[in-house]
Each structure stands twice: as C-alpha cells, then as structure tokens.
Structure 1
Amino acid sequence: MGYEGEEIEGYYCLLIAILGNFDASEARFLYEYGPDHPVCQKILKKRPPPVNLAKMSKEEINQCMYRLFEEGYSKRSIADLFSCYPSTVNRRLTIGKKQDAEKKMEERRNQNNAQTDRCPEELCRGKP
C-alpha cells in the first residue's frame, strides 16, 4: 500500500514539474511544503514572466534578456524562457549591456545639451 502512495506522489510531482516548468527537486519541494513556504516563494519568484517573442525585435530581445539578468534571473532560466542556449544568452547580454550603456550616454548628452541651451544669465542667477 505504501508503494502506491509514493507512486501517486511522484505523479503529482511530475505534473508540477511539467506544468510549472520546474526541475524535479523544485517540484518535489513545492509538493511537500506548498506554495506558501518561504523557499517555495523563492522558487516561484525566480521564474521569469512569459515573453511574447513574435512581436519583439532582436534589439528588444537583447534588452529584455539584459533586464532579466539584472533583476537576478540566471542565464539558464533566461535561456529556457527564450528557448535558446546559454551561450546565446551570454552573447546577447553583452550586446544588451553595450546598448544600455549607449542609451544612458545618449540620455546624458541630451541632458547636457538641454542645460547648455539655457541662457548664460539664467545659469549665473541659478534659475533651473
């Protein structure tokens, strides 16, 4: 009788793993302790949100991967989300980081240009 109960538990763990896209140890932990357990909350939180890749350009995908990595998602989980190899994620993270740096530099240039466009008298008087 004990064997039958363990078999059913295994099926439930398998369902959790398949439907939730978890590995076996995570699925077993979720089954045993439930979703309200603090460790289970971390397991559930580390899953990236679903992404609609059909509508995204390569640049947007690079930026999305970079943002997910910056938020703390592993390269492996990002690779799983985008259905690619971790080496692809590495390459795109490098590109995304470069694009992010260029974007920040452009924003700084625009801010500096906006400040230099003001009249010199305003700058001397301290008006914003």
Structure 2
Amino acid sequence: MEKINIGIITNLRKLLFAYRILFSEHIQSPANIVLEATSIDSISSNSYINERPELLLIDYRLVFKDTALFFSFVNYFYPDTVILLIVHQTFLCEAKRCANYVQSVLSPNLDINQLFMVIRNSILQSNIVKQ
C-alpha cells in the first residue's frame, strides 16, 4: 500500500514531535507527513506544501471552544479530507459533539499498530464512499 499523506494539527510540541518521529521512523508506518500546523490560523501559512493531506490528525484541545466554526475552516481548506480527532480520556464526553465532523476519535495513548490500522482503514473507507 502506498503511503498516505497526512497533516497534523496540534499546538503541543511533544505530540507533534512524537507523531513526526513515529511516522518517519517506524518501518510499518502507513503515512507521510505533508502538513504540520499549530492552529487553524496557521494552516493557510502552510500553503507552500505541494501535496494535500488525505487525512488530518487534529488535537481536540484546538476544537473544543467552537466546534462548528473550527471544522468549517478545516473543510474550507481541505474538503473531503478524512479527519481523525486525538482526544485525551478526560475530554471524551465533550468530544462527542465532534462526531458529525470526524471519522474517528483516537486516544493519544493508542497502540502503534492500532493507530496504523485506523489510518489505513479510514482512508480505505473514505475511498469506498467516494466511488
């Protein structure tokens, strides 16, 4: 399977750094990072990137204040892109309001193989729906 182009949107450097290393160094990584952003505002400053992400990993802490507005901006910049929301256990109840906007909710502590499987399956499901 070809590598999936992904974008990561988080303002936590540790989380961004961990995913960057994971996706670039792990031998079974299904992903190639083509976008890194710290906020929805910084997405437009990443317009120099040649490849569009097929999937976005978004940290819930950026979303929780105004969910509908946040995802309207994301859909404006990246329509028809699969969105996976990274949610810490303490925010799971609040994250339910994002269910209409995302394909899946993930824990930042998810096992690596499970994370890779969710990414692959999300893209496959998205391609099946589009056809």
Normalized per residue, the structure richer in strand is 2
TM-score, with structure 1 as normaliser: 0.26
Normalized per residue, the structure richer in helix is 1
Which structure would you say has the larger RCO, counting Cα contacts within 8 Å and 6 or more residues apart? 2
TM-score, with structure 2 as normaliser: 0.26
